[in-house]
Amino acid sequence: MEDRHPAFRRFGAALGDTRLIPLPGPDGGARLLGKCEWENPAGSIKDRVAYALMGDALQRHGDRPLAELRVIEYSGGNLARALSLLCADLGVTARFVLSSASPRSLLDVLAERGARVDLVDKERGFLEVVGTALRTAAEDDGWTLLYQHRNPANVLLHEATTGQEIIGQLGGTEPAAWVASIGTGGTLVGVLRALRTAFPDVRAVGVTPAELPYGSTEPPNGRPKYAGSGGMGHGIRQPFVTLHDPEVEHHTVSYPQALDGMAEFRRLTGIRIGSSAAANWLTACRIAAALPPSHTVVTVLPDAGTPEEWEHLGG
Ligand SMILES: Cc1ncc(COP(=O)(O)O)c(C=O)c1O
């Protein structure tokens, strides 16, 4: 794959090996470590997933010309940003289904890269965003659906890269807990599977927005939520997470709490993190507060936030 598609190889070579840095934590509690995923080429953890899903799509496409490959995917934002960069470099047509709440800065980047965008009314929730992409692909088989919630390439990539990097960076230190926001659950579950090979007792902690938690039986809603994550509504649970349901603890963070967390983290460290990173950090602090200082809690900082969020927070 890498030999046939140099743009794919270049994107892959720039991925990962992100830093695992100490984070501020509660006095007297466990030590916190966070993986800096904004260091990926398009600025988020979803760059890894874009690479994995496109690798799978390219393999399925075989020897046919790349100009004939047309991919479609739904996204909370970061996956579309990553895929648009990779597809533009490869010369592959890309189409994204997004919520109408998507920030202008994202829509501008997608337009610049020549991607086609379909917006779904934000009041209908992310479930309808997913459903629209699935229906479009079912109605026209000229579109190849990448399907991040079900494509095993998502989890396998996190297991093989994000998880293995963390194991190496821990240098033998046993983590007490692994904390990650759930969008597809690919990060939470993929890294968990890798960590469990080295540290069988690590706790798994999933984080979702208080406005629509994991597995919520409420219908989807258009309330603002922290980025890239959330329950689906109607009791639907993300397939990757369902496989580990008995062992995953669930926490929630509201959007106002996540925004406060972004501002507080920046005040403490000088570093800009996104709203899901803030949700992960706040949850990791809760877990760490109940553990002794000899323990370590690991989490992930998926991105650095959008210009719109930072503008809202005063720059
Ligand atoms: C900012 C952000 N945080 C967290 C996630 C959740 O990642 P995953 O799909 O691996 O659960 C995403 C996914 O799009 C994201 O964009």
Q: pLDDT tens digits, residue range 127-172?
A: 999 999 999 999 999 999 999 999 999 999 999 999 999 999 999 9
Cα separation, 255 vs 210, in Å, equals 8
Q: Give distance in angstroms: CA of 63 to centre of ligand 1.
A: 32
| Site to substitute for ligand 1 among 40, 106, 189, 229, most atoms within 8 A of C-beta | 229
How far is Cα 232 from Cα 183, in angstroms, rounded to an integer?
9
Report pLDDT digits (tens) over 24-59. 999 999 999 999 999 999 999 999 999 999 999 999
Q: Using one digit for the tens of pLDDT, what is the confidence trace for 91-132?
A: 999 999 999 999 999 999 999 999 999 999 999 999 999 999
Tens of pLDDT along 237-256?
999 999 999 999 999 999 99
DSSP state of 158: I
Task: Give me the residue label for tokens 């406060």.
Answer: 260
Residue 220 has pLDDT above 90, yes or no: yes
How wide is the angle at C-alpha 135 spanned by C-alphas 129 and 139, nearest 5°?
150
All structural domains of the chain: 6-39+158-312 (3.40.50.1100), 46-145 (3.40.50.1100)
CA angle 170, 249, 260 (to 5 degrees): 80
| Cα 229 to ligand 1 centre (Å) | 6
Q: Is the pLDDT assigned to residue 3 strictly greater than 80?
A: no
